[in-house]
Amino acid sequence: MNRFDATMIWNSVSDHVADGKDSAPHPVDALDAEEHADGTPSSWSAAIRSQTFFVPLHYEANYRYPLVVWLHSDGFNENQVCHVMPHVSSRNYLATGIRGPMASDASGHRFGWSNSAAALQSAERSVLEAIDRAASQYSVHAERIVLAGYQSGGTMATRIAMRHPELFAAAVSLGGAFNLPAHPELDRQRLKERRLPMLWQRSIESEFYDQARLVSEIQDASSIGAQLEIRQYRNDDEMNTVVLSDLDRWVMNHVVSGAPVAKLSHWDTSPTSFSDN
């Protein structure tokens, strides 16, 4: 399998509109706040971010769907979810993409995730309000909400999930760093009681991969009792069809079917190579 070309298909904003009965993305009107230099909104009343829906093929209103909340990587926008989900599954999930709070170009098409406390609060509010909006418009299984993201979006996904561990069935990070010590405000006892399931997907040939840092991150996740599975791939980028297919199988096994996240030791990982097919 070959990686699909992210740079060609994620740079433009989608113009498709869905009627709720197919897999086309469904843009949703939202307020676009002006931003300060650090990426925070100029007015908290305008903190709602743009949101895009991915509606599964043959959507059935009487079925409660797992909801994937997707946080894009830096330099892209909420429509990234519409290019990612067909490679995860076109049928299994509802999904929604959330726009990052920090604008990175003058045209208003590219955004990112700031590390500031105010930007974190803005992103968190956007995610929570997006979930409410998804549940009000579509049939969502409230106990099967997965927060996932790519690179900086994956880092933000784990940060927000740890602040609301009871809300999410799992957190998934594709290449995003896990920096628990940077957030001493987290309720560690609450996290230990919840034991949030997490999937980390890392490419060992990526320029961002650091084995020593990964070991430290595993220790941090172990300290809060997270149900952690790490999958490593022998390539240079997490955004490929093999990784996204693995994401689908993991969510179906551990979120939909309820199988526990097996972990023989704190250091278990699963090196994975591409198929020759």
Over residues 149-170, mean pLDDT: 97
The per-residue pLDDT for 160 is 96
pLDDT tens per residue across span 229-250: 999 999 999 999 999 999 999 9
Over residues 221-225, mean pLDDT: 95
DSSP H or E segment with residue 251: helix 241-251
pLDDT level of residue 177 (50, 70, 90 thresholds): very high
Model-level pTM? 0.80
Alpha-carbon torsion angle 164, 167, 168, 171, nearest 10: -10
What domains lie within the chain, and their CATH numbers? Answer: 16-272 (3.40.50.1820)
Has residue 73 got a pLDDT over 90?
yes
Percent helix, percent strand, percent coil in the chain, to nearest 5: 30, 20, 45
Has residue 36 got a pLDDT over 80?
no
